[in-house]
Amino acid sequence: MILSIFETSILNLKNKYSQLIKSEAKRLGFTSCGIAKADFLEEEAPRLEQWLKNSYHGEMGYMANHFDKRLDPRLLVDGAKSVISLTYNYYPENQQKSDSYKLAKYAYGEDYHFVIKSKLKDLYRFIQKEIGEIDGRVFVDSAPVMERAWAEKSGLGWNGKHSLLIQKEAGSFFFLSELIVDLDLEYDHPFKTDHCGTCTKCIDACPTDAILPNSTIDGSKCISYFTIELKNEIPNSVKGNFEDWMFGCDICQDVCPWNRFSKPHNEPLFNPPSKLLEMSKRDWEEITDDVFKKVFKKSAVKRTKYNGLQRNIQFLKN
């Protein structure tokens, strides 16, 4: 099939715009950027429905809301044509003492929602300045967007057995975010190869059996769910299984062979507050509300609040 001069011109323009966006994303600090056509997620629909029916979302009632919007980005942005998926590295150069209560690495520094949303808005403004009046919205883990599905469709990596996106050259310690726009762009090829193979390290290492053999996560059993999402008392049935994780959990990522390729991030805002990494169990047990507010003033740890963190520490301690 021979393309007309007009069709060739359109394709060249799409390519130009796509490369322009990817280049600016890299300048802003994003580690990778991929683009997919905004369409209905047909394959994900039955999986999401079954996941909810199995009550794997636990008390996270919001996961059952906006079912249609989760599957169709065109319901989030009128006339949406493209989903731009981006990754941002958060792997720290230094980590907590091994004999302390533990925070998930993503929570060491400032709240990623604000840090990355600011950069996404910069990217959006760049697109509008360089390309024209484009309508769109930015998303950072705070709206009904199936980010891992879109990242996979954008060619950024594959979903591992622990359900997180993995990249051969970078592992999985990175944030995902999206910019949905009403602009036709050149689309990347979906990532089709699962490089986890027969490895079951993440499944075997999960102390609460939250990772199921069929690459599904029972969110209601995840340590992150218990220490962040659950507002009631943590059930005694999981006592002794948290391995000192007081906010979130990195076990499945720490044991993943692909994370040997993780490299320290270059984002100053993700660096931990002074002395946080050196805090002992006793330091955490004696932390006051005032100190909590000071240390975690701009942190994602604020989600669990002081009382929530105290609940988690007492659960680990007793």
Residue 222 burial (CB < 10 Å; 0-12/13-18/19+)? buried
Neighbours of 88 (CB within 10 A): 23
> How would you label 283-316 residue by residue, b for 16+ Cβ within 10 Å and e otherwise?
ebeebeeeebeebbeebbbbbbebebbbbbbebb
CA distance 87 to 170: 10
Asked if residues 122 and 115 have their Cβ atoms less than 8 Å apart, the reply is no
Q: Is 247 left (phi over 0), alpha (psi -120 to 50) or beta?
A: beta
Which residue type does 11 have? L
Find how far residue 198's CA is from the centre of its chain. Answer: 24
Please pick, among 39, 72, 141, 184, the residue that the annotation labels catalytic: 141
> Is residue 78 annotated as part of the catalytic site, yes or no?
no
17 CB-near residues (< 8 Å, 6+ apart): 131, 183, 185, 186
Distances (CA, A) of 269 to 72, 109, 110, 113, 125: 33, 6, 6, 12, 22
Q: Which residues are catalytic?
A: 141
